[in-house]
Amino acid sequence: MTAALAMLCSMSIAVAQDEEKNDGLARVALITAKDGHNKALEEAIVEYHHFMGTKKGAMRYQWWSIETGENTGKYLARSGEHNWADFDAEHDWQKEAGEKFESLVQPHIDNAVVTIMGPYDDVGIWPESMEGYQYVSVTQWHIMPGHGDNFDEGLKKIDETLKAGGFPGYYSFVKAVSGGNGNTIMLVSPKKNFADMAPKEPSFMEIMSKAMGGEDETKAFMSDWGATFKSGENMLLRYMAEQSDYGDAK
C-alpha cells in the first residue's frame, strides 16, 4: 500500500519535456477510496493537483472514474508519454509533495495498485484530438502461452483490413510492462457519449467479410485467431476533467 502510494504521489517523478520522442510509457494506478470517502478523495485530488501544478518536472495524472465492471466506483489515474528514466528523477520538492499527499489525499484511499503500461505495435485508429471524448472503453486480452506470433499476425491483418475498409470507430492497444498479469494487452476505444457506443456502418463484420470473400471465411479466420487469446475484464471509464486539472487548464 505504502509503496503504491509513493509511486502515485509524484515524490520522485519527472516528465521528459525536452525530448520529442519517448518510450511511450504510462504509470496507471487503480485507486479504491475508503468507504464513504469518494467525494472527499475527489475534492482532495483537485487541491493536490493545483498544488503540484507549480512543481517543475512533476507528472500530471488524468483521472477517470470506473463506471462499469467489477471495479465500478473505483478510479484510474494515468500519467503517460514517459521514458524509463523519468521514474528515476529526483527534485527538491519531493519531501514537501510527499507530506502534502500524506496529509491531504492518503487518508481517503483504501488501496492503490500501480501498473506501468507501454505501447503495443503500430496498430489502431485514433482521433486527432481527444476533445469531446468523455468515455473510454477498456477490454483486457490475455495472450495464450506460445501463441504470441499468431496473435500478432492476426491482429495486424485485422488492423490493416479495417483501415483499408474505412472502419468508422477508433481503437488502440497497450500492454502491461510491469505489474499485472503476463501477456496482457488492453483494447482501448474512446467514445464521445453513450450514443457514440452504438454500432456504426460499415460494421466490423461487413468490412472483414468483404475483404476475405464472405462471412463464412471471416468467421473461420476469427475462430482460429480467437484461440490465441482469452478475453478478460471490460470496463467503461469516464473522464474527470476537474480532477485532471492542475490549475492551468484553458
Q: pTM to 2 decimals?
A: 0.88
Of 121 and 62, which is predicted with more confidence? 62
Least confident of 13-17, 32-36, 231-235: 13-17
Q: Are 25 and 117 in contact (CB under 8 A)?
A: yes
Return the pLDDT at 181.
Answer: 81
pLDDT tens for 182-206 read 889 999 999 999 999 999 999 999 9
**Mean pLDDT, rounded, for 125-131:** 93
Q: What is the per-residue DSSP string for 30-70?
A: EEEEPTT-HHHHHHHHHHHHHHHTTSTT----EEEEE-SST
For residue 57, CA distances in Å to 78, 81, 89, 94 come to 16, 13, 9, 11
Return the pLDDT at 249.
Answer: 60
Instruction: Indicate whether 12 pLDDT > 50.
Output: no
Of 98 and 250, which is predicted with more confidence? 98
Dist. CA 170–CA 162, nearest whole Å:
10
Instruction: Indicate whether 10 pLDDT > 50.
Output: no
Q: Which residues of 201-231 are buried (b: 16+ CB within 10 A; e: fewer)?
A: eeebeebbbebbeeeeebeebbeebeebbee
DSSP state at residue 110: E
**Mean pLDDT, rounded, for 45-51:** 97
Q: Are 221 and 156 in contact (CB under 8 A)?
A: no
Return the pLDDT at 109.
Answer: 98
**Mean pLDDT, rounded, for 53-57:** 93
What count of residues does the chain have? 250
Q: Are 238 and 41 in contact (CB under 8 A)?
A: no
**Mean pLDDT, rounded, for 168-194:** 93
Residue 167: CB partners within 8 Å, gap ≥ 6? 125, 202, 204, 207
Return the pLDDT at 20.
Answer: 58
Q: Are 89 and 13 in contact (CB under 8 A)?
A: yes
- Write down the number of H helices and E strands in the chain: 7, 8
Structural domains of the chain sorted by starting position, each given as residue range(s) with its CATH number in brackets: 2-118 (3.30.70.100), 119-236 (3.30.70.100)
Provide the mean pLDDT of the chain. Answer: 91
Instruction: Indicate whether 250 pLDDT > 60.
Output: no
Q: Are 69 and 243 in contact (CB under 8 A)?
A: no
**Mean pLDDT, rounded, for 145-160:** 96
Least confident of 15-19, 24-28, 143-147, 197-201: 15-19
Consecutive H or E run containing 205: helix 204-212
The grid cell for 246 is: 492542475
